[in-house]
Structure 1
Amino acid sequence: MSEHKPVVAVTMGDPAGVGSEVIVKGHARASRDAIPVVVGDADVLRDAVEVSGSPLSIRTVDDPADARDDQEIIDVIDLDNVSDLSYGDLREAYGAASLEYVERAIELATSGAVDAITTAPINKQATRMAGSEYAGHTGMLADYTDTDHYSMLLVEDDLRVSHVSTHVPLSEACDLVTEERVFQTVRVTDDALRSLDVDAPTVAVAGLNPHASDGGLLGDAEAEEIEPAIERAQNEGIDVVGPESPDTVFSQAAAGDDVDCVVAMYHDQGHIPIKMLGFESGGVSGVNVTIGLPIVRTSVDHGTAFDIAGEGIASEESLVDAVELAARMARN
């Protein structure tokens, strides 16, 4: 591996989506901070070069150690598992291919052959058609690395948000707000912030109910589950506050009001403020980090975008940010 730059395995994502395009369009900028090695299909990447009007060339390598620190060449570990390419199509074969990219990247990371993983988007319907029981990357990464306590952390500029639950129905998400899950999310969030160069992090925990239940008038999850979890974390020396009213805590954190991360109780509570910031300029930015793993994994914070795949108009901002953040975490 490089003595100066971390080697980051970048999985190509669903072949029918925008993953290959954003990898090609973001390569020159991403390679300033890392040596990216794509795990995917070389022919699909070559097609993305044409779609993007890029001057880059594609080179196949068998080992990440053979990757070059070159902004004009994209090195790829070619799994050669896409027989024909049709952008925007939902196919079992594409779901299976995208899962193979992730599996290989995990092998490389756990063996130390790469320093981190950045994932382009997979399509959950396609992976389900291919037989996967996982709702996305996160559960798969946790199982493959034997990780019990983990969380999704989203990063957009100064706003960071971790989650007690993510891809479950809202009714189930409410049931998952337990003292143990909230406590473990706070703990892995504190650890992750330190790997992001936050020396003495302050974590704010959002309430589940409106106005954090308003003293019990609007629910009891805060008093019965969230407050005891916060007290446990404080007793372990973690600087954590809350439960805070969810309709104000995210804007306070984004403004830098002495809060380094917000723990959200469920998927949309945390994703909406992040995506409001990341999408407001017409681009697509923001990074998804799986925290609590023994390896570094970041991801783009957008989907496969089948509706624009193959048109050469997908934004590479999130991919570039994800590789840069993976490199920074790997260095730490």
Structure 2
Amino acid sequence: MSESAPVVGITMGDPAGIGPEVIVKAYPELRQSSRPIVIGDASVIADAIEIVESSLGVESVDAVDAATFSAEAIPVLDADNVDVLVRGEVREEYGAASLEYVEKAIELAKAGDIDAITTAPINKQATKLAGSTYAGHTGMLADYTDTENYAMMLVEDELRVTHVSTHVSLHEACDLVTTENVLDTIHLTAGALRDLGIDSPSIGVAGLNPHASDGGLLGDEDAAEIEPAVEQAREDGIDATGPESPDTVYVRAASGEFDCVVSMYHDQGHIPIKMLGFAGGSAVSGVNVTIGLPIIRTSVDHGTAFDIAGEGIASEQSLLDAVAVAVEMTDTDRAEPSR
């Protein structure tokens, strides 16, 4: 680990979920390219260390600059907000705790104390019990950073997708397919791809209807809303193509024809990503990147997995991948491990 490696704040997620376990499992590899610090509860991380039978210790700190980022102990910015831990249970206090970690991470990122945020999974039922009105991390991150235009990008191996809409009903998702919304998402996508080191990104834009409306036989939304957005994006200097038939554009992107696909709604983009991830036999899939924010935020693309929490069997691969993407998006110079 180099002292110039980016500092990545990893929020612990719901204390009763698998987040603490995968953080402990991932820590030795994470510190090869970053300086990872957990924003959570030190006692819960200590408990997770026992679960996965790790030899690591816990370094409880009250500020980022107090962390040593050693190979022997996981630095934890300790919120000390979990009194009793019962794994696999939805509890109001766990929802409140997980929200506190995210709020602190945003504060640190805005202040420049950390270079990026990577989030472990929260439980939406628990955060709702705690009074949150957000469907997940994304809306919260946008509000706390005063961001109006933002989107979700999912990354799985060679396939990347972004979304015009996510956690809304399918009926509402169709209403949100407007020229303005599609164009905004194309622009956000192009910017995020450049942040990932792709200088001249190529973007495939999925149609809304089967076969992108098949020349008007299956609807007029593609011609009326998506096509003008693609044309404007091209006038703006973006290599965008579409609307393309949704049943083939993802295969084309995974084969290298496009650097990313702009999807019109949640399942249209999530299904190919998760098919690709799960087909490899993994229990988790992909990386979630919130694009358009003034700070860098990536996340695992899996849930709290209450059914296996505490068993020590959850895979850390998605967290490793999420931090790797966060590191790639920082401007911090990185060096090879020194120890």
With the length of structure 1 as denominator, give the TM-score of the two structures.
Answer: 0.98
Q: Residue 248 of structure 1 aligns with which residue?
A: 248
Report the equivalent of 1:268: 267
CA drift of 1:261 comes to: 0.3
Q: Counterpart of 2:292 in structure 1: which amino acid?
A: G
Cross-structure match for 2:336? none
Partner residue in 2 for 1:233? 233
1:314 corresponds to:
314
Give the whole-Å Cα distance in 1 for the aligned partners of 2:315 and 2:3.
Answer: 31
The whole-number CA distance in structure 2 between the counterparts of 1:130 and 1:224 is 42
Q: Which residue of 1 aligns with 2:97?
A: 97
Q: Secondary structure at 2:247's aligned position in 1?
A: coil
Q: Which position in structure 1 is the counterpart of 2:206?
A: 206
Deviation at 1:292, TM superposition (A): 0.3
1:135 maps to 135
SS at match of 1:248: helix
One-letter amino acid of the counterpart of residue 19, structure 2:
G
Aligned mates of 1:330, 1:68 — CA distance in 2: 21
Say whether residues 1:25 and 2:25 are aligned partners. yes
Aligned counterparts, 1:210-229, within 5 A? 210-229=210-229
Q: Distance in 2 between matches of 1:328 and 1:162?
A: 18
Q: Percent identity?
A: 66
Q: Give the counterpart letter for 1:117 in structure 2.
A: I
CA distance in 1, matches of 2:228, 2:71: 51
Cα distance in 1 for residues equivalent to 2:3 and 2:316: 27
Distance (whole Å) between structure 1 residues aligned to residue 3 and residue 56 of structure 2: 25
Report the equivalent of 1:68.
68
State the Cα deviation string for residues 109-152 of structure 1 (Å, max 9, x = none).
Answer: 00000000000000111111111111000000000000010000
CA distance in 2, matches of 1:236, 1:281: 38
**CA–CA separation in structure 1 for the residues paired with 2:281 and 2:313:** 12
* Alignment gaps of 5+ in structure 1: none
- Residue-by-residue CA offset, 1:278-302 (whole Å, 9 max, x unaligned): 1222222410000000000000010
C-alpha displacement of 1:71: 2.9
CA distance in 2: counterparts of 1:169 and 1:71, whole angstroms: 46
Q: CA RMSD in A?
A: 1.0
One-letter amino acid matched to 1:49:
I
* Residues in 2 aligned to 1:285 and 1:177: alpha-carbon distance in whole angstroms: 26
2:269 maps to amino acid: G
Counting matched residue pairs gives 330
1:285–1:321 contact (8 Å) kept in structure 2: no
Report the alpha carbon displacement of residue 69 of structure 1 after superposing the two structures with TM.
3.3
Matched, 1:120 2:125: no
Alpha-carbon offset, residue 30 of structure 1: 1.2
- Residue 8 of structure 2: aligned partner: 8
Could you report, residue by residue, the CA deviation over 1:265-319 in whole angstroms, capped at 9, with x for unpaired residues? 1111101111111122222241000000000000001000011111100000000
AA matched with 1:119: T
Aligned-partner Cα distance in 2 for 1:72–1:209: 54
* Deviation for aligned residue 1:3: 4.8
Contact persistence 1:6–1:35 (CA under 8 A): yes
State the distance in 2 between where 1:312 and 1:16 align.
13
Q: How does 1:143-182 map to 2 (within 5 A)?
A: 143-182=143-182
Return the alpha-carbon distance in structure 2 between the equivalents of residues 321 and 232 of structure 1: 34
**How far apart in 1 are the matches of 2:8 and 2:140?**
19
- In structure 1, give the amino acid aligned to 2:214: D
CA contact (8 A) 1:18 1:314 kept: yes
What corresponds to 1:323 in structure 2? 323
> Helix, strand or coil: the match of 1:289?
strand
Paired letter, 2:280 = S
In 1, the alpha carbon distance for the partners of 2:235 and 2:66 equals: 48
Corresponding residue of 2:192: 192
CA distance in 1, matches of 2:265, 2:39: 31
Q: Distance in 2 between matches of 1:232 and 1:42?
A: 50
What is aligned with 1:280? 279
Unpaired runs of at least 5, structure 2: 333-339
SS at match of 2:246: coil
* 1:58-97 C-alpha deviation (Å, 9 max, x unpaired): 1111111222232331100000111100111011111110
